[in-house]
Amino acid sequence: MKKILLGAFLALLLYLSVQAAQAGSPAPLAYVVRVQQDITPASADFIHDQLKKAAAQNAAVFIIELDTPGGLMDSMKAIVQDIIASPVPVVTYVSPPGAHAASAGTYIMYASEIAAMAPATNLGAATPVMMGQEGAKPQSVLEKKMASDAAAYIRGLADMRGRNADWAAMAVNKSVSLTATEALQKHVINVMADNVPDLLKKIDGMQVKVGERSETLHTAGATVEYHKGNWRARLLAAITDPNITYLLMIIGFWGIIIEFSHPGAIFPGITGAVCILLWLYAMNILPVNYTGVALIMLGIACMTAEAFMPTIGVLGVGGAAAFAIGSVLMFNVPGFAVSYWLIGLVTLVSLAFLSFILAILIKDRRKPSTVGPETMVGMAGKVVEWNGKEGAVRVNGAVWKAESAVACTLAKGDKVKITAVNGLCVTIDPNQSVST
């Protein structure tokens, strides 16, 4: 009897100690980030930094809320490598309803330990497309090699995570897509969830392989923390947006043109130089079609030339056409395109500004000055005193030092014509003098 009571007492003591330990331990952390943009170097940099922070906080799970039309292959591969190397289990969750994980987003889904989707979302269409070949089927040897390599790449990710490798290859080779319900049925994803709390409940207790170890997820009741990128990540994301990159280029060229046509304005020149430098940085990391950039520059040059040597609109209209075509061609990769509305608006504004407003400003600048000493040129003055080549004359009630290119004899009160003003000295033409 004593042994039974002692065993019961020890069991109770053990139970109470476990409960106390659990009550004293903090709730698991669900570290959540949102990627709702094209997959660019900014996205890769953001996820890389956030994964490090999640590991430093010993997070139970790292959740990427994903909504992307695709992006750059190099950036996608950098994200995939970071996910595979992460000591924290990664869940990629296509959310909110209406979102999609196309192209590069599909690879990221397959690389994650857990793939999840909200209702009314979709994924797929992961065929790599070369610049200038959007919407075309792979035809060249290089394109076929790219498609074959991409299919093998995503198959490897599918095998590693134990998901449907055949459909993954079809997503690359045939650009197929799936709804969330179909993806769950075909074992492309692990779970469907309405929101993050629902997702945490459904993945609680799942077994995942993180690196070389197996791990059981404990996410029920986890504390959810949403994290945003720092100012560097936000700046990089902004300037690598195709529309922002395009505007930086246009504003930069406008500023430089204004500065050259009106030297000393300073502000347009500084603004233009900063925008050009930011544009060049974005050009270095984005898939830019340089034929498009060349056409834009040609268009700007033609529209500017219209202001200096009017051709009844020929240069202006031709420049506007080259500008618009170049703007369309500047980015020609899925997920990277400038809005056609923005192109139309900027083309019209550029044509109006460069061909007409700039012409008016230049003509106004060439008009004779109406204020200051220069207005005295052509006026008549009266000699106050004169000696050979120099003396003094009265103009507009003020006495000015005067000089002549040749020696002449002038008497006080003689009328002379002012031909130039140099500082505080005027130049007269003795042949224009009139005796009183």
Structure tokens at 278: 């930011």
Among the listed residues 258, 261, 332, 268, the one whose alpha carbon sits nearest the alpha carbon of residue 295: 332
Contacts of 43 (CB under 8 A, 6+ apart): 35, 37, 68, 71, 75, 79, 237
Please answer whether residues 146 and 344 qualify as being in contact, where contact means their C-beta atoms are separated by less than 8 angstroms: no
Q: How far apart are CA 239 and CA 378, in angstroms?
A: 54
Please answer whether residues 153 and 103 qualify as being in contact, where contact means their C-beta atoms are separated by less than 8 angstroms: no
Catalytic residue among 43, 75, 86, 103: 103
Q: Does residue 435 carry a catalytic annotation?
A: no
Q: What is the DSSP letter of 313?
A: T
Catalytic residue among 52, 144, 145, 389: 145
Q: Does residue 327 carry a catalytic annotation?
A: no
Structure tokens at 271: 């603004």
Contacts of 375 (CB under 8 A, 6+ apart): 368, 369
3-state SS, residue 40: coil
What is each CA distance from 40 to 68, 96, 124, 213, 335, in whole angstroms?
A: 11, 21, 18, 31, 10
Sheet with 90-94: list strands edge to edge.
Answer: 191-192, 114-117, 90-94, 61-66, 29-35, 223-227
The residues carrying an active-site annotation are 103, 145
